[in-house]
Amino acid sequence: MTGSTMTGIVIIGAGQAGASLAAKLRATGFEGPLTLIGEEHQPPYQRPPLSKQYLLGEMELERLFLRSDAFYAEQKITLRLGKPVTRLDPAARTVTVGGEVLGYDKLALTTGAVPRSLPADIGGELEGVHTVRTLDGIDAMAHEFRRGARLLVVGGGYIGLEAAAVAAKLGLKVTLIEAAPRILGRVACAETADYFRDLHTRHGVEIREGTGLKRLLGEARVTGAEFTDGTRIEADFVIVGVGIRPETSLAEAAGLAVENGIRCDAQGLTSDPHIWAAGDCASFPGATGRMRLESVGNAIDMGELVAANMLGADRAYDAKPWFWSDQYDVKLQIAGLGTGADRIVGRHDANAEGGGTSHWYYAGDRLLAIDAMNDPRAYMVAKRLIEAGRSPAPGIVADPATDLKALLKAPAQ
């Protein structure tokens, strides 16, 4: 092991949040040594296209990368890729990576999240069982997508549905199971779930809700599955989409406070005065309590805010949640958080390309969130209204004669 080398700022985690944080530090004027450490061999890349355009063969590898190699060289950002950080020592202000000890003045943890896997005792480690999260993982499963192959998707969240859509488009026979009573149970209203259930069914996907996985079948490689209702199916491969968990192991081992992610204050500062966190791995105080967001938007926004605060800006994070999902010819755009909604207002725009549909989430008369399917106008208007804290009356939103853009000009209520 080599001796300690002093560096200015070290960022652990070379995903969207880490890349955004590093770029913002340089753009804000930080001129000291800057090191970005990533466990994967590839430089920072986009994750959302992995399960969509990249898997379909519609996006080349180079287009996934967030920045060119020249950018990191020009900005004097040192990339250390392909080796995990094995130790973080807050007292000594050092990290150990690849047998070398690096010192830091300030540190940022942008370690992201990891997919939940199936237990080994029910077949989770059989060959042919895949998760969707990394470029290497997608490359490892690409050869499985052969026309006519039988795919089992475990989990009816957005990752599972996106994987099912890609497989169906490529001519595979797809069965998707969801243990909960319905798909999208944790993340969307029943009306949005109905919309996507119908969409997938029309494309030949068999969706079985209220059906859990008892075990996968096969010796070395998966050959099928047995469900909790006693039925069995044959399967050539399996994609597991049962959620992700924040990657906090390094922070926990270092003694940092963890609460559904690495616990931060409103500025992104952890329980150690020299360590910050941002992105999927970070939990922070929100308007209704502590929260953690898993999205590109949060990774970028929080990464950039933490960069500013590491340089003394002292600004609180005001999260503005937004998400998206592409399935077949439908683009779903989401703004806000629907938690606590007691009413869903539906709207259909026959003039929108593909026949736009949107579901507006209300708590009483307060607008919380929107799911917009092929309706970018509704999404744009609702997002701006939510961020401004404005709530048009539900009846006005539901009226197809209402000009949505006019709502942005209406006097605040």
**Chain mean position to CA 274:** 27
Q: What is the rounded distance in angstroms from the CA atom of residue 307 to the CA atom of residue 77?
A: 14
DSSP state of 401: T
Phi, psi of 279 (to 5 degrees): 90, -155
Q: What was the pLDDT predicted at 355?
A: 73
pLDDT tens, residue by residue, 170-185: 999 999 999 999 999 9
Mean pLDDT of 376-384: 96
Instruction: Answer for the pair 396, 360: CB distance below 8 angstroms, yes or no.
Output: no
Could you give the strand order of the β-sheet that contains 282-286, starting from the edge strand earlier in sequence? 262-263, 282-286, 289-291
1.10.3720.10, 3.40.640.10, 3.50.50.60, 3.40.50.740: which CATH number matches 5-114+245-310? Answer: 3.50.50.60
Q: How confident is the model at residue 2 (pLDDT cuts 50, 70, 90)?
A: very low
Average pLDDT over residues 83-98: 96
Secondary structure of residue 25 in the 3-state scheme:
helix
Domain boundaries, the chain: 5-114+245-310, 117-242, 329-409
Calpha distance 357→374 (Å, rounded): 7
Is the distance from CB of 260 to CB of 281 less than 8 angstroms? no
The Cα 202–Cα 213 span in angstroms is: 24
pLDDT in tens, 34-52: 999 999 999 999 999 998 8
The model's pLDDT over 241-252, given as tens digits with 9 standing for 90+, comes to 999 999 999 999
CA dist 319 and 336 (Å) reads: 9
Are the beta carbons of 256 and 264 closer than 8 angstroms?
Answer: no
Quickly state the pLDDT bin for 22 (edges 50, 70, 90): very high
Question: What would the pLDDT profile of 128-174 be if each residue is shown by its tens digit?
Answer: 999 999 999 999 999 999 999 999 999 999 999 999 999 999 999 99
CA–CA separation, 188 vs 211, rounded Å? 19
Given this chain, do its domains 117-242 and 329-409 carry the same CATH topology?
A: no
pLDDT of residue 353: 63
Instruction: Please write the tens of the pLDDT for every residue from 274-297.
Output: 999 999 999 999 877 899 999 999
Q: What would the two tokens of residue 26 be?
A: 């340089």
CATH topology of domain 329-409: Enolase-like; domain 1 (3.30.390)
d(CA 51, CA 58): 11
Which pairs count as long-range contacts for 83-87, CB under 8 Å and 24+ apart, including other chains? Answer: 83/37, 83/39, 84/39, 85/12, 85/37, 85/39, 85/250, 87/253
Q: What is the mean pLDDT of the chain?
A: 94
CB 240 within 8 A of CB 118: yes
CATH of domain 117-242: 3.50.50.60
State the pLDDT at residue 354.
61
